[in-house]
Amino acid sequence: ITSIDIYIHCITIFASIDLTTIQTTNSPSSNNNDNRLILLDLYLYYSMIGISNQSAKIRSCSLAVLSLLSIPLYSTIISTLPTLVDLLIKETWWESYIHILTLCSRLVSYDNTNDSNKMIFELIYHIFNTNS
């Protein structure tokens, strides 16, 4: 693969298949769990790279992956929330808004007592009050 954009797009496809499989199967094998953790880290790494990409399509793909990762890597996603909010507040593409709202709803529904919910609600408020 010659372009990071193509690679991130492929990662999005693989992550959506893999993370759906994680939710439907639960294997006790520690080797399998180690491999899953490596894949989750890989998905997170490239989605974080992708959300700052100049292509709206790649940003949207990356946000879709972050949304899928929001439950298995909840604490990691929450810890990067200030950085995410800084990047996402500048977003203008409608498809990215959908993935941001999905991410926010998953984070809030997972733990509605978290202190980070204020940032999440500010992001949701921004999306609904954008004049684009």
pLDDT tens for 2-17 read 799 999 999 999 999 8
The pLDDT assigned to 132 comes to: 52
Phi and psi angles of residue 7, each rounded to the nearest 5 degrees, phi first: -60, -45
Question: Which two structure tokens, joined as six digits, stand for 25?
Answer: 């199967």
> SS3 for 132?
coil
pLDDT tens for 61-79 read 999 999 999 999 999 999 8
The pLDDT assigned to 90 comes to: 85
The pLDDT assigned to 86 comes to: 84
Question: Which two structure tokens, joined as six digits, stand for 11?
Answer: 């990662």
Question: Which two structure tokens, joined as six digits, stand for 21?
Answer: 């499989």
- Are 73 and 19 within 8 A, CB to CB? no
Q: Which segments of the chain have a pLDDT < 50?
A: 24
